[in-house]
Amino acid sequence: MRKLGSSVTFGSMSSSTTINNFRLYKATAKLKKPIADATHTLHEISFIVLRLQLENGIIGESYLLSFQYSPQAIRGAFKDLLPEIKGYEVHETGKVLKKLDSLSEYFGNEGINQWVKAAINVAMWDAWGKYLNQPVGKLLGTYQDKCSIYGSGGWISYSIDELVQEVSDYAGRGFKAVKIKVGSPNWKTDLERLKAVRSAVGNDINIMMDANQGMTLPAAIQLARAARELEIFWFEEPLHHQDFEGYKTLKQQTGISLAMGEREYSTLPLVELLKRNALDIWQPDLLRIGSVEAWRESAALANSFHIPVLPHYYKDYDVPLVCSIPNGVGVESFDWIDPLIDNPMLVKDGFAYPHEGPGWGFSFIDEFLTEIK
């Protein structure tokens, strides 16, 4: 099977940019053994890949990170919503968002239906960029030509040796910052792991820590204070993401920089954190926040309070988005999809560069895809 690029079709060719077909696929990254953070154990690194076809033959593609969770529910949501977008023009992203919001309102606009809405939106932007023969980032405007990137991982399930090996590999590849997981049953275990990382990478590389909502407020305060000498760059999601008063207390008592946003489906939590002076870095997740438009809306709100944006996970989408806003400072890097796509992102000396091809500038390779019927 050939790769479906900008001119390969499922059906007949025309000049129309109307959406007329779609296909779903699953792709899986290699995982040697399960990995764990403070709240989840991951047995599978998998992705749902959406391809939308226009009547002119152009294919717009998107993907979402699914792991092993709710596979039938995700597929069912796609099958419910995808038929509803046939007949829309590919540039009518706002009309489609409004339509899908209306269809999802009864059972809730947050959750799985929001992920599907976002996947459709991202694929529409890809197809629109291909039609115009321009990268999405250029369609949105450019503030910078590259952005900082940090190496992510540092799973709690890693041994100290595995942890040190991963962060040392990031440092050897030119990364200037690394993030590791915390939230062990005893915060002192986290402190020892952080010390091992600092010893391994030296003082010229920033270290961040991420608890994935897995800590109590007293433990988070203790760890933040004890890790002060390690110069931790930021503390991500130490508490439940809706514990706004807890974040305020943590900030007031420790002074540590706090990063939040990946769990959010709207800007309401951003507003609550801003009101409490309990946020230093906004981390929107493109698939949860619901669309390119919603992602940029949240970034604009953060910018009005002089809060930088450093989004969650989707670097191949996030780099051009970050480069299109005034307060975009960097992106997160996992290598999971790199072996599965035709054009891995250029990362050099701690910076990531937007894909140069039309649309998002990359596609999944057909041999790694299994069609979902």
| Tens of pLDDT, residues 333-354 | 999 999 999 999 999 999 999 9
State the pLDDT at residue 45: 96
Q: pLDDT per residue over 45-56, tens digit each?
A: 999 999 999 999
**Amino acid identity, residue 347?**
V
Burial of 67 (0-12, 13-18, 19+ CB in 10 A): middle
pLDDT category of residue 40 using cuts at 50, 70 and 90: very high
Taken in order 48, 54, 57, 60, is the CA torsion positive or negative?
Answer: negative
pLDDT in the model for residue 15 = 72
Q: What is the mean pLDDT of residues 157-169?
A: 97
Band (pLDDT 50/70/90 cuts) for residue 108 is: confident
Helices and strands (H, E) in the chain, number of each type: 12, 15
Q: Once rounded to an integer, what is the mean pLDDT over residues 251-273?
A: 97
**Residue 23: which residues within 8 A CB-CB, separation 6 or more?**
10, 50, 51, 53, 371
Scored b (16 or more CB within 10 A) or e, 156-187 reads: bebeeeebbebbeebbeeebbbbbbbbbbeeb
* Range 8-12 average pLDDT: 43
Q: What is the pLDDT of residue 223?
A: 98
The residue type at 367: E
Question: Which tokens belong to 179?
Answer: 């993030």
Domains and CATH numbers, the chain: 19-133+364-372 (3.30.390.10), 138-353 (3.20.20.120)
Backbone angles phi, psi at 60, to 5 degrees: -100, 135
pLDDT given for residue 373 in this prediction: 87
User: Which residue do the tokens 């041999």 mark?
Assistant: 367
